[in-house]
Amino acid sequence: MPLFRYKGRDNFGKNAAGVVWAESKSDAVKRLRERGVWPTFLRENAPRLGARLLDALVGKASPKSLAVVYRQLSVMLESGMGVVRALALLRDTIPERRLRGAIEDVLAVVEEGHPMSDGLQIRERLFGSTEVAMFRAGERSGRLNAMLRRAAEGCEFQHRLLLKMRSLLTYPAILLAAWVVIPGVRLLVLDGFNAYFTGALLPNLVALGKFLAFILIARVLLLNVGAFARVYDEVKLALPVFGGVVRKLCVARFARGLADLYNAGVGPAEAVRLAAEGCGNRALAAMLRRAIPLLEANRSLSDALAATGALPASVLQMAVAGEQSGTVDESLTKAAEYLEAEALGTVEASLPVLRVVFWALAAVPLILAILSGFGGVVGSIGGAVGR
């Protein structure tokens, strides 16, 4: 069903704007009049295709932005506010344009009488498949607020980890910028800015642009093409030091997602499938999905997960303890917290060494380029003096 964007006035003469789902333009006008809105502008929302493509290219919104969205929704719903009113307020206050458009799409679905999870499903790549499944389960069990809080906490942890990784990459980024600007200073000194720009700065900028374009194309292929993505995820797990961190974080996401879905009343097989999809690594997800046939054959959760060979002993032990005590969700959440803390500790312990390594890798070519450039300056000056 197409989505139409409208502007107009309501029965009280106030301005009204938004989106409406309808079979056709005339059907959209009819639906709006039933709401008491008289449209002066009505157009099918063509940019939705662009939004879908952007979601495919970029993927999920930033953890920080999603944490704000989920936290604010949770607070508003807990205060007794309706879903429609909460989404409308969020749409009007959130600064990020991409998220604002997505929330507007969700609001249109909810205004048509559908659950919020149906609206989130439309932009699943932006909000995340695991989160959408959690919210759907929360709606069915009457625990939507709790699911929103859990999703916000998970996004906040991801944001903290991302900040640590960004601090690691600050020095290499500065040195990369210096590599673009500094090596051609010889031309700037001897021949002026025009010669410097055309002979050094512009070629370096072109080379940097090609490199960034290559990175972008590689990102699209690695994130959206199944064969490339699977190999890429396998390589990430095999990396020294970082491979262990990636595995711990992905297993932690799986355990936390499984705990949330299990707590919301989702069946074990479906919960494992959804949590595996949201773990963040396709290679690991393929291993985890081996548990689904065993669960459908009425094997216990701990036995099915142990048969996959994808989880560390600590998680399996917590799953066994949870089954015996009837607190599977709490046990898996504690296992996730332990793995996250362990991964963060590894990253923090590795940061000083990795900073030096990255600095050296980025600085050596830059130093060689500077020495070469200034060697040319010295040679030119010596030649001029000799003449």
> What SS3 state is found at 239?
coil
Q: Which tops the pLDDT comparison, 367 or 268?
A: 268
Same domain, yes or no, for 111 and 72? yes
Q: Does residue 215 lie within any of the structural domains? A: no
The pLDDT of 327-331, averaged and rounded, is 89
Nearest CA to 355 out of 158, 182, 164 is that of 164
Same domain, 88 and 65: yes
The whole-number pLDDT of residue 86 equals 93
| Distance between start and end Cα atoms, the chain | 81
Helix (H) or strand (E) holding 7: strand 3-10
- Which structural domain, as residue segments, surrounds residue 17? 3-45
- Whether the pLDDT of residue 183 is over 70: the answer is no
Q: Is 312 helix (H, G, I), strand (E, B) or coil?
A: coil
Strands 37-44 and 15-21, sheet pairing: unpaired
Q: What's the alpha-carbon Rg for the chain, to the nearest Å?
A: 27
The CATH number covering residue 285 comes to 1.20.81.30
16: helix, coil or strand?
strand
Sheet of 15-21, strands arranged across = 15-21, 3-10, 37-44
In percent, the amount of the chain with pLDDT more than 70 equals 78
Extended beta strands in 11-121, E state: 15-21, 37-44
Look at residue 309 and tell me whether its pLDDT is greater than 80. yes
Comparing 268 with 2, the larger pLDDT belongs to: 268
The confidence band for 47, taking pLDDT boundaries of 50, 70 and 90, is very low
- Helix, strand, coil share of the chain (percent; to 5): 80, 5, 15
Quote the CA–CA distance of 176 and 183 in Å, as a whole number: 11
pLDDT band at residue 289 using 50, 70 and 90 as cut-offs? very high
How many other C-beta atoms lie within 10 A of the C-beta of residue 342? 17
197 versus 84: the higher-pLDDT residue is 84
Say yes or no: 301 and 336 in one domain. Answer: yes
Q: Which of 94, 110, 127 delimits the end of a domain?
A: 127
The residues with which 16 forms a beta bridge, in sequence order, are 8
The predicted model scores a pTM of: 0.63
Q: Do both 32 and 62 map to the same domain? A: no
Look at residues 70, 102, 127 and tell me which one is the last residue of a structural domain: 127
CA–CA distance, 308 with 287 (Å, rounded to integer): 6
Give domain status of residue 206, yes or no: no
* Higher-pLDDT residue of 217, 99: 99
Answer whether residue 306 shows pLDDT above 80.
Answer: yes
**Residue 190: what pLDDT?**
64
Closest to 249 in 3D by CA, of 347, 364, 327, 375: 347
Residue 223 pLDDT level (bands cut at 50, 70, 90): low
Judgement on whether residues 37 and 60 belong to the same structural domain of the protein? no
**Domain edge (last residue) among 127, 147, 169:** 127
Q: Is residue 356 part of a domain?
A: no
Residue 296 near residue 273 (C-beta atoms within 8 A): no
Residue predicted with more confidence, 318 or 355: 318
12 and 59 in a common domain: no
Together in a domain, 29 and 59: no
Residue percentage of the chain with pLDDT more than 90: 16
Q: Please give the residue that has the higher pLDDT: either 155 or 130.
A: 155
DSSP, res 61: P
Domain presence at residue 34: yes
List the single range of 9-13, 118-122, 369-373 with lowest mean pLDDT.
369-373
Q: Is residue 337 located within the same domain as residue 311?
A: yes
- Average pLDDT of 124-130? 79
Is the pLDDT score of 334 beyond 50? Answer: yes
Instruction: With beta carbons less than 8 A apart as the criterion, state whether 88 and 108 touch.
Output: no
Among 134-148, 211-225, 310-324, top mean pLDDT goes to 310-324
Output phi, psi for 290, to 5 deg.
-65, -20
pLDDT at 237 over 60: yes
- Tokens of residue 209, six digits: 């642009």
Residue 136 included in any domain: no
Give the CA diameter of the chain: 92
Residue 230: inside a domain: no
Query: What six digits make up the tokens of 341?
Result: 């803390």
| pLDDT band at 121; cut points 50, 70, 90 | confident
- What are the pLDDT digits (tens) for 364-374? 666 666 666 55
The amino acid sitting at 255 is A
The DSSP secondary structure of 92-133, one letter per residue, reads HH---HHHHHHHHHHHHHHHTT--HHHHHHHTHHHH-HHHHH
* 383 domain-assigned: no
| 25, 61: one domain | no
Is the pLDDT confidence value at 186 over 80?
Answer: no
Highest mean pLDDT: which range of 24-33, 278-287, 303-312, 365-374: 303-312
> Number of folded domains in the chain?
3
The answer on pLDDT for 382 being more than 60 is: no
Please state, in angstroms and rounded to a whole number, the distance separating the CA atoms of residues 90 and 319: 38
Q: Do 61 and 24 reside in the same domain of the chain?
A: no
Q: How confident is the model at residue 147 (pLDDT cuts 50, 70, 90)?
A: confident
Q: How far apart are CA 328 and CA 322, in angstroms?
A: 4
Q: Residue 58 domain-assigned?
A: yes
Long-range CB pairs of 107-115, under 8 A, 24+ apart, other chains included: 107/18, 107/19, 108/3, 108/18, 108/19, 108/20, 108/21, 109/21, 110/83, 110/84, 111/18, 111/20, 111/84, 112/20, 112/21, 115/139
Whether residues 252 and 285 share a domain: the answer is yes
Res. 72: pLDDT tops 60 = yes
**Backbone angles phi and psi of 111, in degrees to 5:** -65, -25
Question: 236-243: long-range contacts at Cβ-Cβ below 8 A with a sequence spacing of 24 or more?
Answer: 236/281, 237/281, 237/283, 237/284, 241/346, 241/350
Which structure tokens are listed for 241? 């030091």
Q: Report the C-alpha gap between 174 and 192 in whole angstroms.
A: 25
Task: Provide the pLDDT for residue 211.
Answer: 79
One-letter amino acid of 112: E
Mean pLDDT in residue range 273-297 = 88
Q: Which pLDDT score is estimated for 372? A: 62
Same domain, 247 and 336: yes
